[in-house]
Amino acid sequence: MKARKEILTDCTLCYHSCGIRVAVEDGKAVAVKGLESHPINKGELCPKGESILDTIYHPQRIKYPMKKVNGKFERISWETALDEISRKLSDLKEEFGPQMMGMFSGSIGVENMEIAGLTQRFKTAFGSPNFFFRGERMLPDAHQNPPDHIR
């Protein structure tokens, strides 16, 4: 018999962060419904949220580092990918200075707090002043004064 449980969580496909119920069988999500008690979506889901399992389990989803070699992508290890990226970033920093890098973290809603924080820390450790996010058009001085929760 399969072990089944239900997890109450949020859809993270956009900044609305609608509440969802996810049925999990043997460690795999098998069904998703809107969470009736959630104040934003009240049990409803948009078509993107309804098809979230297709996104999670799509056969072409990229799950590991890929490198283009002679026009074709091939799988490489995380260690190799991180080594190559850090070497290239170091070379670029040496040649052009740390400001050559700009970090973009997408939207900074509740669905993206952790990534925004990590992005900001990575940018600072690298020494670049350049940080961008989707809301910056609404916040003209966002580069110099990002919201407190992502400093």
- Is 28 near ligand SF4 (CB under 6 A)? no
Residue type, 11: C
Number of residues forming the site for ligand SF4 (CB under 6 A):
11
**Among the candidate windows 15-23, 68-76, 96-104, 118-126, which touches ligand SF4 by CB under 6 A?**
15-23
**Rounded to whole angstroms, how far apart are CA atoms 123 and 81?**
19
Residue 41 or 105 with smaller CB distance to ligand SF4: 41
Residue 35 or 150 with smaller CB distance to ligand SF4: 35
CB under 8 A, 24+ apart: contacts of 86-93: 89/126, 93/126, 93/127
Given candidates 4, 11, 125, 126, which one binds ligand SF4 under the rule CB under 6 A?
11
For residue 3, give both structure tokens: 């072990």
Alpha-carbon distances of 65 from 16, 48, 56, rounded to whole Å: 29, 26, 17
Q: Return the residues of window 51-110 that contact ligand SF4 according to CB under 6 A.
A: none
For CA atoms 19, 23, 24, 28, give the dihedral sign.
negative
- Is 18 near ligand SF4 (CB under 6 A)? yes
Residues lying near ligand SF4 in the complex (CB under 6 A) are found at: 11, 13-14, 16-18, 41, 45-46, 48-49
